[in-house]
């Protein structure tokens, strides 16, 4: 307990580590593989815009860089996606929080 009072950086590092641990556990338990057909691709507006795709099933998925997950080429992935094409994808994330701007993230994608 003394460690928290003497060094506030220890507390900050501990909070960040817990956050990343939560993300890893969350991604592990929500990961799924599915087949999608891309209907449309677009950039969401705003300062922190995301690369988004919509499917023929009216689902929205996010493609973004994530150092923690080892995804550093989201722009290349997004640029190679073709409309009306079918892909096998691995996704993780919350499925029912679209109204908050939180979408499942595509981890892997390959054309069928």
Residue 13: phi, psi to the nearest 5?
-65, -40
pLDDT at 49: 67
HSE (side-chain half, CA atoms, 13 Å) at 78: 20
SS3 call for 85: coil
Pick out the chain residues at pLDDT < 70: 1-5, 47-49
- Predicted model pTM: 0.76
pLDDT at 1: 55
Say what the pLDDT of residue 72 is: 83
**Strand residues in the chain grouped as ranges (E):** 32-43, 51-55, 60-63, 86-92, 105-111
CATH code of domain 32-111: 2.40.50
Q: Give the per-residue pLDDT at 107.
A: 87
What confidence score (pLDDT) does residue 111 get? 92
């Amino acid at each position: 307990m003394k460690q928290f009072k003497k060094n506030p950086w220890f507390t900050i590092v501990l909070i960040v580590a817990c956050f990343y641990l939560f993300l890893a556990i969350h991604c592990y338990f929500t990961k799924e593989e599915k087949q999608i057909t891309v209907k449309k691709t677009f950039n969401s507006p705003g300062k922190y815009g995301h690369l988004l795709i919509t499917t023929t099933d009216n689902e929205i998925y996010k493609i973004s860089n994530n150092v923690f997950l080892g995804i550093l080429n989201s722009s290349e992935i997004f640029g190679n996606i073709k409309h009306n094409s079918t892909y096998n994808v691995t996704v993780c994330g919350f499925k029912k929080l679209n109204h908050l701007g939180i979408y499942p993230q595509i981890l892997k994608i390959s054309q069928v």
